[in-house]
Structure 1
């Protein structure tokens, strides 16, 4: 029996109002009398970012299932309640309200987009419920109740601009989805170019669900940019890269892709992805002991073909930081765990990382990687980077 099938025998799924499903991680019989610790997994399981949502859920589920297999925390098991944001801020708020008020969760892990996170923030803070946010974003979140395992501009923009100006040329065309993260990342990119001598020759934002990028690709070609910088999210990014490759522009224009990972490789041919450069914090091509451990655990749980991406590593690592907070606090009291989970060092899939007590952000190990032969290979290791304090 495969690892995935074994897991399914230990879980039950049922529909909860709206598009919300509950995954109950069954405890051993001897521990069933202890009240479970309920965790909301609030991810985009529909709406265009479902690949990222499922990867985030897998990472979180791996951490909590492994904790349950080890006996939970003081005999208490974790119960995961899945909820779908549908990649929509209004829906994200509704689901967060349900998880906090009706489901009585001790914490929520998710969502993906900055728009959803920002829409949820008042609900999270009113409910005084820890939000575990494990997606790269534009920076600036400062909240007692939001802990971020997130690549910020200091982690990704600053290093990639330096790398690109040195190795790819000094002219850039920026293309992103039309929401907060791409606009703010590009603003940081422009500011960094001003410092390094690079120049941005074009900037454009595309609507969700775009099917035809012909006009945008024509502008990129006519601009003479040496590099196109992509911050398009989800399935739209796959569409863009496929159309870009079909034009033949790869022969003259390099691609830098924020957020690029194995999730996107799975939707592209080797030829279409070849040469794409991306900053990241983890890639499955790593062979360090900690990387091999993560890959082994994911494939044991979800099957030999399971994708092990930066998204999986981030959610797995932050969930484990929360679990350690529960251990330190001696239970799932929201305020006590909020205080206890910070100021800790943990081994991620790519070296030790540190959750700072001040702004509740993680100092991350940063890589620059390139798609080569259908894999994301590391071409530069930058070590652990401490971003600017987000509360200042």
Structure 2
């Protein structure tokens, strides 16, 4: 997930005082969880709530007695949205701080900067962000949705509401290109036709000519895996052109970082999405999570998809440590590979032993007054894209990010 967003959500997330500084303690006294996130800079709309969610999960684990009779301590580093710092801090966490696990990374590039260091030092690594799929590495566990998990659900829902002629607008990089291919596949699988496909660099913010092209193509539906603050302009310009009520919109990215709070209701209402989380989910687990967040931070407005994925990732790791009865990396991996589950704010989270990705509930939703209204829940969606290329049970030494052919 490569994102280019500045302060469009600035001020919605408050940092705990020590979030940007590492803390040190004897390994004999505590269990050490390492974190590397962009808690400042252009990606902080994602990194700050992720850091808050990670610390909330750790606080809850500690309040319930910790793990293996020890408290969990966070060693957290802020990369300041500087990609070079990911490698530096990964080395520091593993070689100097000697942490027991690392949760971190937002962009796919940051994940890859961390992943090889974690593998070489045999430090267990959790990546908790939606991404393009295909990573196959026994040392990593991934808790965000992959394109097939959400696109396979979103496309038929949107087509049933709107029609079979689909126009696709996508960000011009790995995530957008791969997701566009999945959209085309599932459009065809559901008897539809892709009548237009355009890609846009992340800095493009003028979509006037594109909107004119879409008007000429006259699709029934536009699906937009657009990414970043510049691309957010499309949704505003679409509404300003009077198109929102004429041709419905769906997106695989809008709302992941609470972008719906930036759009007015008139600009956002009715846009269709599919994710693992919405604050509107009416479940005991989500109610408890929001109450804990409110008590800790005083404001629930900054909870979003990647924050919840991070919270669920820490809780999954903690359950595996308890099950393993040890901090030994291989013992914890063995526990995770039994297919353990937790009940998180977004629903049931189950580890897929074959890929180390999460099997997740996916919720079909529509924006309504800057909220994500849940229309339908599809339980336990498999990461079928990565399952098509990755089998760690058969090839435990694999270390590849596959480009999935569709």
The interval holding the TM-score normalised by the smaller chain is: 0.7 to 0.9
Cα offsets for 1:234-270 (capped at 9, x unmatched): 3234333223222222122211111333611222222
Q: How does 1:371-390 map to 2 (within 5 A)?
A: 371-388=367-384, 389=387
* Consecutive unaligned residues in structure 2, runs of 5 or more: 1-12, 392-406
1:358 corresponds, among 354, 378, 383, to: 354
Name the counterpart of 1:54. 48
Deviations 1:337-371 (A, max 9, x none): 23333421111113322112222121111110001
> Which consecutive unaligned segments of at least 5 residues does structure 1 have?
14-20, 27-31
Alignment of 1:259-338 (within 5 A): 259-261=253-255, 263-338=258-333
Give the TM-score normalised by structure 1: 0.86
Normalised by the size of structure 2, how large is the TM-score? 0.83
RMSD, aligned α-carbons: 2.6
Match of 1:344 in 2: 340
8 Å Cα contact 2:166-2:187 kept in structure 1: no
1:72 aligned onto 2:71: no
Deviations 1:64-85 (A, max 9, x none): 1111222321342222233344
- How far apart, CA to CA, are the structure 2 residues paired with 1:152 and 1:186? 13
Task: Give deviations 1:179-234, integer Å, cap 9, x for gaps.
Answer: 21111111111122222222222222322333433333333333323322222223
Query: Retained in 1: the 8 A contact 2:101–2:125?
Result: yes
SS in 1 for 2:341: strand
CA contact (8 A) 2:351 2:357 kept: yes
User: Which whole-Å CA distance do the structure 2 matches of 1:363 and 1:33 have between them?
Assistant: 33
3-state DSSP of counterpart to 2:309: helix
The answer for the alignment partner of 2:188 in structure 1 is 194
Partner of 1:17: none
Tell me how far 1:25 sits from its aligned partner.
10
Counterpart contact for 1:157–1:189, Cα < 8 Å = yes
Match of 1:168 in 2: 162
Deviations for 1:12-56, whole angstroms, at most 9, x for unmatched residues? 45xxxxxxx225499xxxxx9952222222223345332122222
Pick one of 122, 126, 131 that aligns with 2:120.
126
CA distance in 2, matches of 1:299, 1:24: 25
CA contact 1:136–1:259 (8 Å) conserved in 2: no
**Cα deviation 1:138-183 (Å, max 9, x = unaligned):** 2211111110112123321111111122111122222222321111
The answer to whether the 8 Å contact 1:23/1:79 transfers is no
SS, match of residue 74 in structure 2: strand
Counterpart residue number, 2:398 = none
SS at match of 1:173: strand
Alpha-carbon distance in 2 for matches of 1:322, 1:347: 13
Q: Paired residue for 1:249?
A: 243
Q: CA deviation at 1:113?
A: 2.3
Deviant stretches of 4+, over 6 Å: none
> Structure 2: how far apart are the matches of 1:111 and 1:228?
30
Cα distance between partner residues in 2 of 1:119 and 1:191:
31
Deviates more, 1:334-343 or 1:156-165: 334-343
Residue of structure 2 in register with 1:96 after alignment? 90
CA contact (8 A) 1:86 1:92 kept: no
SS in structure 2 opposite 1:271?
helix
Secondary structure of 2:302's partner? coil
Report Cα offsets for 1:81-121 as digits up to 9, x if no partner.
33344556544333323322233222221212223323433
Cα separation, partners in 2 of 1:46 and 1:240, compared to 1, 3 Å:
farther
Size of the alignment, in residue pairs? Answer: 374
Aligned residue number for residue 209 of structure 1:
203
Paired residue for 1:233?
227
Cα distance change of structure 1 residues 157 and 102 upon mapping to structure 2, 3 Å threshold: same
